[in-house]
Amino acid sequence: VTFFPAMLTVPAGGSATFFCNISMESDSGSEYSLNWYKETNHSQAQKIAEISRNNPPTKTEKYLLTNHTPAFKIEILNLHQNDSGSYYCGLISFFEPDKVMESNRSQLVVTAAPEKMNATDEPEMEEGNPPDYIKAVLLGILLLAGVVVLLIFGYLTVTYRRGDVEKPPSENMPAEEKPPVVSVSTVDYGVLEFQWEQHAQLPAETRVVDQTEYATIVFPEEKPVTPEREKKHQD
């Protein structure tokens, strides 16, 4: 009777499979039974399962037994760390009373579940593919920033236009051009009569020939009344 593999290391939550191979030297048609045992820290062996020659595959919550004569398979399901220990099988042949043959021992080591590896992998997955809630937060921040920019732009536009409206009309409208101040000079022409004094009569030969003298007089805005003007006014 042989038992293999000799060593198995499986993480918790998985399953372990062992095979027990038997060889019948005498009558192959004889009846027999195959038992499965477990030892923990060299303590007394504990029978965990049994299968006979003509039994169909048997499954429980913990073990799955399959008959592939001359090999028998046992699968230990849903492993926990307390499933660690030594396993072997024992053949009981009924045609030879009191004949029990035991196989070699195989060691099963159940390790802790790879929680640390999963915790390490999760950040990498998150970096490559951010969760949906992170995408939603980023989108919300972008939308909020856009709204703030629009509000600032609208406020500046309204303030600028309001400043133009509130300015006095004189500031908003171009200054009217005032006519240039032009000083106008008036030129008047008149006749000046020069009279000789009566008491100073000179001889004819020494008297100067009568002459008419013309003068140009520039008057200010308020013109004085000349004899000529007064005469015209009386007429």
DSSP calls for 101-160: EE---EEEEEEPP-HHHHHHHHHHHHHHS--HHHHHHHHHHHHHHHHHHHHHHHHHHHHH
Distance between CA atoms of residues 195 and 210, nearest Å: 10
On whether residue 151 sits in a domain, the answer given is yes
Task: Please name the amino acid found at residue 16.
Answer: A
97 plus 156 within the same structural domain: no
* DSSP H or E segment with residue 94: none
Does the pTM surpass 0.85? The reply is no
What are the tokens at 82? 């307390």
135 plus 105 within the same structural domain: no
94 plus 139 within the same structural domain: no
On whether residue 172 sits in a domain, the answer given is no
Distance between CA atoms of residues 36 and 171, nearest Å: 108
106 plus 156 within the same structural domain: no
Q: Which pLDDT does position 187 carry in this prediction?
A: 60
On whether residue 31 sits in a domain, the answer given is yes
The CATH number of whichever domain residue 107 belongs to comes to 2.60.40.10
For 172-222, give the secondary structure using H, E and C.
Answer: HCCCCCCCCCCCCCEEEECCCCCCCCCCCCCCCCCCCCCCCCCCEEEECCC
What is the 8-class DSSP label of residue 160? H
* DSSP H or E segment with residue 31: none
Query: In this model, does residue 230 exceed pLDDT 60?
Result: yes
Exposure string over 215-224, b if 16+ CB within 10 A, otherwise e: eeeeeeeeee
Based on its alpha-carbon atoms, the radius of gyration of the chain, rounded to whole angstroms, reads 67
Decide: 104 and 88 in contact? Cβ < 8 Å.
yes
Helix, strand or coil, per DSSP, at residue 2: strand
* DSSP H or E segment with residue 64: strand 63-68
90 plus 144 within the same structural domain: no
Confidence of residue 22 (pLDDT cuts 50, 70, 90): confident
Read off the pLDDT of residues 86-128 as tens digits, 9 standing for 90 and up.
Answer: 999 998 877 666 578 899 999 999 999 876 555 445 545 545 5
Domain of 138 in residue numbering reads as 130-160
Distance between CA atoms of residues 222 and 186, nearest Å: 10
What are the tokens at 170? 């004189």
Beta bridge partners of 38: 46, 87
Confidence of residue 6 (pLDDT cuts 50, 70, 90): very high
Query: In this model, does residue 35 exceed pLDDT 70?
Result: yes
On whether residue 13 sits in a domain, the answer given is yes
- How many Cβ atoms are within 10 Å of 36's Cβ, its own excluded? 24
For tokens 């198995």, the residue is 8
Q: Which pLDDT does position 107 carry in this prediction?
A: 94
Mean pLDDT of the chain, nearest integer: 76
The domain total for the chain is 2
8 plus 53 within the same structural domain: yes
110: left (phi over 0), alpha (psi -120 to 50) or beta: beta
